[in-house]
A and B are shown apart, each in its own frame.
Chain A
Amino acid sequence: MTYFEKMRGHTQSPPRVGAVEIVWSGIGSLLGMAAVALIHFQMLDPLGHMLIIGSFGASAVLIYGAVRSPLAQPRNLMGGHLLSAVVGVTALRLLGGHPWLAAAVAVAAAIVLMHATKTLHPPGGATALIAVIGGESVHNLGYLYVLMPVGMGAAVMLLIALLINNIPKNRRYPEFW
């Protein structure tokens, strides 16, 4: 196959999911994000840690919208966020003098580490990045960033996923731990 032929693609999109799936994806993400956002606005907003909620918006797509996906499993959700947070804070500590480099290294190292530990979770990339670009308030947290807001937020999202995703007959979560 030539280089340019590959760019044409070779298969089709998976089918659209059924109405039930769409509805429960909506319900799950609404409740999950409500819980996380409530905690953030009550506890973290005054401290200026709001940026991290973007990372959880991305997690919501996976754990409420694609519950079968390996990327959406608890191991990936928790492992991906926690490891990426550690990587992000470490990158800032070591390379903080060059924010552009720290940002790039944080995301790249997070992906490598998540792959190596079988915890790949796309929003982890954002979690690592926010540790670098989150501003003074995030920087001041140091490694506490890993537990709060990151660890706590991911745990709340997981709890809601377990409660909501198992209600419909044709849904189950997780596939594995």
Chain B
Amino acid sequence: MTSSIIRECGPVDISEQDVLKAMKAMQGYIDITPADFKQVYQIAYALAKDRMLKALKAADVMSAPVHVVSVDMDLIQTAILLADKGVSGAPVIDAGGKVVGVVSEKDFMAEMGAGSGGSFMQVVAHCLKNKGCVALPLRNRRVGDIMTAPAITAPAEISVGEIAGLFMEKKINRLPIVGQDGRPAGIVTRLDLVNSYCMLG
């Protein structure tokens, strides 16, 4: 994770000078002080943003159907599958089809010497220092051994705003969306979240 500082998402801070210029451009006498207008703007903007973020749900932005792997799948097969599908992670399901965890590049890299940070550069550094790469620890092991569990999941009704909050708070990159039976319905990745901001205009 790059930074532990969560930057506050807020409305563009207009200044009283901006308001004064706008009032001049509109002509006519507008009987509100610049400070009062600014306050009206800020409250209205926050309400509008809130409404937008609440209006857009996981169901609107998630990728579905989602590629899943089962908990007892061999890690080599898993790596091949993820590479094949061009995804960097997937929900892990148990024999009953319920989501029990998430496996991603990060989990693989953690096993390959990256430690808990799980970045590719850490793997490179580890390989160079040890004069060779060690993917061997991945042999004969299963998804269940390295996955991140328990899974952080959410229902399809969760709003985009809440998802963004979860990503920051839990430091995760993808959120499996599950039905009431716990089976996967889709997944919201950081990319899906970025796309949702386009929908918001």
Contact = CB atoms under 8 A, between A and B. Distances in A.
B155 interface: no
Interface residues of B, number: 14
Interface of A is mostly: loop
A18 B27 CA distance: 6
Contact of A69 (B16, B27, B31): B31
Contacts of A13: 33
Interface stretch (A50-58, A60-68, A80-88, A146-154): A60-68
Interface residues of A, number: 19
B28 A171 contact: yes
Given A10-B35, A11-B34, A15-B20, A170 B27 contact: yes
Q: Which of A14, A20, A21, A66 has the most CB of B within 10 A?
A: A14
Contact of B16 (A12, A65, A71): A12
A29 to B, nearest CB: 13
- For A10, A11, A12, A25, which residue has the most chain B Cβ atoms within 10 angstroms? A11
A47 interface: no
Contacts of B31: 14, 66, 68-69, 71
B24 interface: yes
14 contacts: A12-B20, A12-B33, A12-B34, A13-B33, A14-B34, A15-B24, A21-B28, A21-B29, A67-B28, A67-B29, A68-B29, A68-B31, A69-B29, A170-B28
Interface of A: 10-15, 17-18, 20-21, 25, 65-69, 71, 170-171
